[in-house]
Amino acid sequence: MAAPMPTPTASAIPRTIQCTRRDTRLKYGIAMNCEIRSRAVAVSSSLSANGVRWDLSDLEPDAEQARREWDELLARARDFAERRRGTVGSSGPQGLRDLLDELDQLAQDVARVHFYATAREHTDATDPETNDLATLARDRGADLESMLLFVELEWLALDDVEAGALLEAAELEPYVHRLRVAREEKPYILSEGEEQALNARRPAISAWESLHGRELATLTVEFDRGDGPEPHTIDRLLSYVHHHDRELRLAALDVLYEMLESVADVQAACYDAIVGDRLSLDRLRGIPDTMWPTNQRNELDGAVVEAMMAAVEAHYALGRRWFVRKAEVLGLDRLQLADQYAPVGSDRRVEWTEAVGMVEDSLSDFEPRLGEIFRTCLERGHVDAEPRPGKVGGAYCNSVSKTVLPYVLLNYTDQLRDVVTLAHEFGHAVHGTLALERQTYRSYHTGIALAEVPSTFAQLLAVERLIDQEEDPSTRVMLLADRAEGAMASIFRQTMMARFEARAYAARSEGKALTRDRLAEMWIEENVRYYADSIELPEGYRLGWSYIPHFIHVRFYTYAYAFAHLAAFSLLARYREDPERFAPGYLEFLASGASRSPHDLLAPLGVDLRDPQTWALAFAEFDRCIGEAEEGVAAL
């Protein structure tokens, strides 16, 4: 077979995109025929988080050492496979425990070296050494997975009687839940040779994912927000939808959609390739439902997920009610999309040091240990908050291993809602830290739906604190409105995205290509189901699907946000009822990781996922938030 063609790095491809605007004089925006270049530039010297960047030395000292470690990891994996192959079902409970402990340590070392490459790729996408290292990580990761695949396959090959006897052994208690869940995949697993062949083509799919992210991360535009042109990333343009100046909001979205025009065909091609690959694998394995892989990883029954999403859609009118009221407050006949998150009341700038203090206090007041984790991560340089070209948008947390504290990435733009993002990501960080202290590496990480519950709960705690302590009545109204709108974004918009994905997968399974126009049509139709006539959607918003990374990395990821926000609403209501009684049980929930099912983990806290009334109670809390926002704007 021919050797694969090397993938050019972003920095090797000079890219200039022409961007035009209508011939009118604007207060904000860009000049006609401006150039958008993908070279690395400073975003703004005025942002307070400038210089807040990751220190990756807890992962690796440099790329050369990372390359050496990949070689060492491959050697360890080969040795492990030679010694352990054929012993999963024959070595007894203690032998299997020893095998899993050794595999657990190997997996942590792989995660550390792999995240070093990912972290560099996500913060400096145009650096040639970084791109080479990311390519190596994808290739070596696939090699290692193929070498170690036999463990899972041998476990699944055991008959139910043999497996059941091992699951009853005390020696395997730390792993028993994950082992039990893994056997749910047994009907869909292929032979070892077939599974290895499928793993071997994974780097090619990862390259599509990297291309999608790199196209967005390297895209900048000279945009004038009123005080002179400055280079803007997508994230910085999106931050203006929260600005008080309507003309700036409209101009920023106008420019954003023009930027997306230049990459929409590439983004559609990436998504088409990734969805097509996933559907091909589903057919090979005999998986009947495109949502099953995500539901299974989340340990949620499909009926529970569908009941939750149907309940969300049944409450879309809550969002529309607020949008109509907000239009009245803003003096508009109807909101445009750029007005959806326009501040009601008075916003204020929050510099990075103030945000750090707010989040630390919020976590420490709930439990001092949580504040300690937050402070230590900051002191060790495990937070990257500076927005800059070449850095991925959005925010995330990676809990690397039992010996390395989590790393948090966000793009801090000095707004109050950025404080909420910081709290959200550290909800993940404290969850990961406490779970890794007690659980094995294999058993600490929950599915994405449950993983979003602690982060959303931490976010809600921070917002409640901000509201309670805010002295300015107008700013307090802004916080009330922002809390309601944040919930709408997490619950309503993320469910809408999941429905969009379902349509995309259905179309692709029928042999229809996911072109930019087909995706745009489905995107607008699903948005209209949510917004109806409460918000006017601009023509450019047809490309709103093209910058959503969740579609690329994990199918149907977005419903996890709706699930988590509704679950967190229920938890917050119970916390308010009796804080002292709630806190110990919640800490136990965090430390339990993925040692039990989501149902069993949430039940002691009063959330029954199998009871449809659970969603009704959560929406009552949601309605309370919207009602408080409505009362707030009425008092302005």
The 10s digit of each residue's pLDDT in 159-199 is 999 999 999 999 999 999 999 999 999 999 888 888 888 87
Please provide the DSSP assignment of 269-317 as one string. HHHHHHHHHHHHHHHHHT---TTHHHHHHHT--HHHHHHHHHHHHHTHH
| Residue 3 CA from chain centroid, whole number | 34
* Residues forming a β-bridge with 384: 409
310-332 CB burial, b ≥16 within 10 A, e <16: ebbeebbebbbebbebbbebeee
* Fold for the domain defined by 61-201: Butyryl-CoA Dehydrogenase, subunit A; domain 3 (1.20.140)
Q: What is the pLDDT of residues 259-313, one digit of tens each?
A: 999 999 999 999 999 999 999 999 999 999 999 999 999 999 999 999 999 999 9
* Residues forming a β-bridge with 221: 232
pTM to 2 decimal places? 0.84
Distance CA 202, CA 191 (A): 17
Q: What is the pLDDT of residues 68-91, one digit of tens each?
A: 999 999 999 999 999 999 999 999
- For the chain, counts of helices (H) and of strands (E): 26, 9
Where residue 42 falls among pLDDT bands split at 50, 70, 90? very low
Q: Phi and psi dihedrals of 297, rounded to 5?
A: -65, -30
The full set of domain ranges for the chain reads 61-201, 302-634
Q: Residue 7: how many CB atoms within 10 A of its CB? A: 13
Class of domain 302-634: mainly alpha
Tell me what percent of the residues of the chain surpass a pLDDT of 90.
Answer: 79
Please report the pLDDT score of residue 192 as a whole number. 83
532 Ramachandran zone, left/alpha/beta (phi>0; psi -120 to 50): left
Q: Provide Rg for the chain, Cα atoms.
A: 24
Work out the angle between the directed axes of helices 494-509 and 264-285 (0-180°, nearest 10).
70
At 136, is the secondary structure helix, strand, or coil?
Answer: helix
3-state secondary structure 516-541: HHHHHHHHHHHHHHHHCCCEECCHHH
Q: Is 373 exposed, middle or buried (0-12, 13-18, 19+ CB in 10 A)?
A: buried
